[in-house]
Structure 1
Amino acid sequence: MKSRLGNLRLYKFDVPSESDVGVMIISFGGVHLCERFQLTRCTGRGRGRGSKAGLSKSFVDSLHWSFMAQHRSNITNQIFDYIVSNFSFKDLDVVPPACPVLVFHFQIIGLSQYQVNENDITTLVLSTLRTRDSVLSVEDAIARLVPIVAPTTEIVDCYQSPELCPLCEKGYPKEDEIVHKTKCSHIFHATCISRYLLHTPRCPACSLELPPVDMRTLLFL
């Protein structure tokens, strides 16, 4: 069984001692890879070739490096299909001093599955930020970790159906492909719907508007 993206969750973590910080967590089985980065260096307009949805080439390169051992699984493309369908980071060039930490959690499914709950995510974030208990207790931190709900599509795990994808007219599952369900409950291959929404932000089945959300509006609410 090849590795694939099982879930991708974004969180905002309100911690007074940090600003302009992102945390990347990759979970595969019981192993977690964590990296801290400067948020505005990895987001915004004009970040060079290779940027996607406003995420810079350095962000793309970090993902490729993290998944080098899994390069045949096409995971990085699966990640960007999901991000492009749901979020835009193009206006995230500048953040205010009180900007919450943005957390990306990638859950990778392979030969073994291991569920990661939000308490685990909180502990990993605190460890990555090196935030001491004297600054923020674990109990307080759990309450400050707020999920950012994907507004347009969600990943559907292990989807099987005799129907065809309405966009490519190929069946499920397509090799190395995951499927997305839109908020209007229509199913497409992830690559098909993300490419379609890039130029036409409407559901191809029912014409419901499905634009990606500006990440600034979600972080600074």
Structure 2
Amino acid sequence: MKSRLGNLRLYKFDVASESDVGVIIITYPSGLSVIEKIQLTRYTGRRRRRGSKAGLSKSFLDKVHWSFMEQQYSNIDNQISDYIVSNFCFKDLDIVPPACPVLVFHFHTRFSEQDHVPEDNITSIARAVLSTLRVRDSVLSVEDALTKCVPIAPPTTEIVDCYQGSELCCLCGKGYPKEDEIVHKTRCNHIFHATCISRYLLRTPQCPICSVHLPPVDIRTLLFS
């Protein structure tokens, strides 16, 4: 059964006892979730192996890829790369200062025939992060954790779940849905295939239709603001 990325949301979680930490949460259509803690700078930074994009290392995508492969998913890592490259730059995260907020990646997946992906439950996200971090210097309540779990809005493009339309993507000339492809909407409200717009923005950081400036945002500015 074909599957695809339904959504990808980022959060920052402020907790003084942790630094240089990322949390990956993968939610499957069955309701099953996989949660893993990672060292953030191991998978991000300026100097990475060939194949990395926007400072996010290939090993990060490999880690996520194998998690999805265990559930018989395919092509998800490419869709994740398209989304992140369109929105964020991780190139200056070789070193993070003490008490850097935890960066949370929440991946929603869906089968191709599903109508939509449910919205994130912030309480569930906070609980998952708390249980994964096992906070050392204090015992945070879920209520406290909710105030520390802050969504990071995608600054350039967002995933439009289950989009269908009569128009053609102006970058490839093909319609929607394209086989095994998800759709992105820019902040200026224009629709493109994810692969098309991510590749275009890597070369030219502006909307191909209205020329609005669409650069990826330095993730450090979002983590530390």
- For residues 36-79 of structure 1, give each alpha carbon's deviation from its aligned partner in whole angstroms, at most 9, with x where no partner exists: 01111111011212322111232122012111145663111111
Matched, 1:142 2:136: no
Distance 2:141 2:210 in 1: 47
TM-score scaled by length of structure 1: 0.95
Once the two structures are aligned, what percentage of the paired residues are identical? 73
1:50-89 paired onto structure 2 within 5 Å: 50-69=51-70, 73-89=74-90
Matched, 1:165 2:169: yes
Distance 1:125 1:41 in 2: 19
Which stretch has the larger CA shift, 55-64 or 112-121? 112-121
TM-score scaled by length of structure 2: 0.93
Matched, 1:203 2:204: no
1:121 corresponds to which of 122, 125, 136: 125
CA contact (8 A) 1:23 1:104 kept: yes
CA contact (8 A) 2:17 2:136 kept: no
Structure 2: 5+ residue runs without aligned partners? none
Partner of 2:94: 93
Q: Secondary structure at the match of 2:147?
A: helix
Q: Secondary structure at the match of 2:8?
A: strand
Distance 1:22 1:109 in 2: 23
Partner of 1:49: 50
Distance 1:136 1:91 in 2: 30
Distance 1:18 1:50 in 2: 29
- For residues 98-141 of structure 1, give each alpha carbon's deviation from its aligned partner in whole angstroms, at most 9, with x where no partner exists: 20000000000127765541111111111111237952111100
Which stretch has the larger CA shift, 34-43 or 46-55? 46-55
Distance 1:53 1:166 in 2: 24
Partner of 2:22: 22
1:26-41 paired onto structure 2 within 5 Å: 26-29=26-29, 30-41=31-42
Q: Secondary structure at the match of 2:210?
A: coil
CA contact (8 A) 1:3 1:70 kept: no
Partner of 2:159: 155
Distance 1:48 1:137 in 2: 40
Partner of 1:5: 5
Q: Secondary structure at the match of 1:176?
A: coil
Partner of 1:180: 184
Which stretch has the larger CA shift, 60-69 or 7-16? 60-69
Runs of 4+ off more than 4 Å? 111-115
CA contact (8 A) 1:13 1:144 kept: yes
> How many residues are aligned here?
221
CA shift for structure 1 position 171:
0.6
Which stretch has the larger CA shift, 114-123 or 171-180? 114-123
Q: Secondary structure at the match of 1:22?
A: strand
